[in-house]
Amino acid sequence: MSTAREQPIFSTRAHVFQIDPATKRNWIPAGKHALTVSYFYDATRNVYRIISIGGAKAIINSTVTPNMTFTKTSQKFGQWADSRANTVYDLGFASEQHLTQFAEKFQEVKEAARLAREKSQDGGELTSPALGLASHQVPPSPLVSANGPGEEKLFRSQSADAPGPTERERLKKMLSEGSVGEVQWEAEFFALQDSNNKLAGALREANAAAAQWRQQLEAQRAEAERLRQRVAELEAQAASEVTPTGEKEGLGQGQSLEQLEALVQTKDQEIQTLKSQTGGPREALEAAEREETQQKVQDLETRNAELEHQLRAMERSLEEARAERERARAEVGRAAQLLDVRLFELSELREGLARLAEAAP
């Protein structure tokens, strides 16, 4: 008779505290960091449990009953009492939303446990809390090992070779340790999934940042090219500019030589005056504009070099993030394979223990 393994139905992360058994007033933290707290459903025994694994031991192993009540003590903290474990558990969540989700799930599981108890009482079928077996007996059947038919093992009759009390305790302990190991692998699998999701989000952010840097780099390059063209135009304009010549005025045949000389002197003075008024400031303005443009071009080239360096750094970070994500995926795959192997071994162990318990008196 095979037994179905427990299935996780809800998981979250919270800081776990337990009431001090000596004072019954102080709280003892289970660790420095938040732990994964999960609801599990045992289809064989039709019970619900709240389980949290810290390191190699179970911090929370509480079976939900209809008499339990989850109480919100603040915006982020809630607690419930477990009379079987003779303790009170307190959870601290990262936000009020996580606390509300856990409280709603607690109410759902509590109602499901109540319905399961009523159904069990009405149906008359009792289950064993230790091994999850039905109260009716099943005739013993041969158990074949995984190595092949050559190593087949048969259960003997109950009077011939029945396990003693010590053997039963050992089997119960093995089954309990197997359940805790299964829950621990489930928790590690969820933690790896969270890590993979975080790495994927970081990779998306890195891709967005790299695209933004590329757009800025293209804009800076276009601006630098426009400034180079402007400098070339200004240099060409300065080279082609010629000094204006004085106007020639026609002279009448009746003008004398003195009048011509006076007119030439007057025009020379006007030309010098115009040069002093317009030529100097204009050349200085153009020279200042050229220097300012050249300085801007140099600043833009320096900025482009910095942006290219930052872009290369972002590309390296992107490649590292991709490699990290691939490593995380490989670790998740290995963990999932190992978890499947452990679950298969645990299932075989439970089947063997169930048949052994059925054969026991």
How far apart (Å, rounded) are the C-alpha atoms in residues 130 and 175?
A: 9
pLDDT (tens, 9 = 90+) of the chain, 361 residues, equals 333 467 889 999 999 999 988 888 889 898 888 999 999 998 888 889 999 988 778 899 999 999 999 999 999 999 999 988 889 999 999 999 999 999 999 999 999 989 988 887 776 444 433 333 333 333 333 333 333 333 333 333 333 334 455 655 665 565 555 545 555 565 666 667 777 788 888 888 888 888 888 888 888 888 888 888 888 888 888 777 644 444 444 445 455 677 777 888 887 888 877 766 655 566 667 778 888 888 888 888 898 888 988 888 889 989 999 999 898 888 888 888 888 888 888 888 888 888 888 887 6
Q: Are 38 and 50 in contact (CB under 8 A)?
A: yes
The pLDDT score that the predictor gives to residue 227 is: 87
The pLDDT score that the predictor gives to residue 82 is: 92
The pLDDT score that the predictor gives to residue 355 is: 85
The pLDDT score that the predictor gives to residue 79 is: 94
Structure tokens of 233?
Answer: 């135009």
The pLDDT score that the predictor gives to residue 147 is: 35
How far apart (Å, rounded) are the C-alpha atoms in residues 51 and 180?
A: 9
Map out the domains of the chain as residue ranges: 8-119
How far apart (Å, rounded) are the C-alpha atoms in residues 30 and 15?
A: 8
Q: Does the CA dihedral 233-234-238-241 come out positive or negative?
A: positive
Q: Are 96 and 75 in contact (CB under 8 A)?
A: yes
The pLDDT score that the predictor gives to residue 16 is: 94
The pLDDT score that the predictor gives to residue 130 is: 34
How far apart (Å, rounded) are the C-alpha atoms in residues 20 and 90?
A: 11
Distances (CA, A) of 251 to 62, 257, 263, 269, 347: 121, 11, 10, 19, 124
The pLDDT score that the predictor gives to residue 255 is: 53
How far apart (Å, rounded) are the C-alpha atoms in residues 155 and 301?
A: 86
Q: What is the 3-state secondary structure (H, E, C) of 292-329?
A: HHHHHHHHHHHHHHHHHHHHHHHHHHHHHHHHHHHHHH
How far apart (Å, rounded) are the C-alpha atoms in residues 99 and 223?
A: 53
- CATH 2.30.29.30 fits domain 8-119: yes
Within 10 Å of residue 336's Cβ, how many Cβ atoms?
14
How far apart (Å, rounded) are the C-alpha atoms in residues 217 and 298?
A: 15
* Burial class (CB within 10 angstroms; exposed 0-12, middle 13-18, buried 19+) of 47: buried
Q: Are 93 and 11 in contact (CB under 8 A)?
A: no
pLDDT digits (tens, 9 = 90+) for 187-237: 666 667 777 788 888 888 888 888 888 888 888 888 888 888 888 888 888
The pLDDT score that the predictor gives to residue 278 is: 59
Q: What are phi and psi of 54, to 5 degrees?
A: -125, 110
The pLDDT score that the predictor gives to residue 36 is: 92
Q: Are 102 and 12 in contact (CB under 8 A)?
A: yes
Distances (CA, A) of 127 to 1, 6, 204, 309: 14, 15, 50, 69
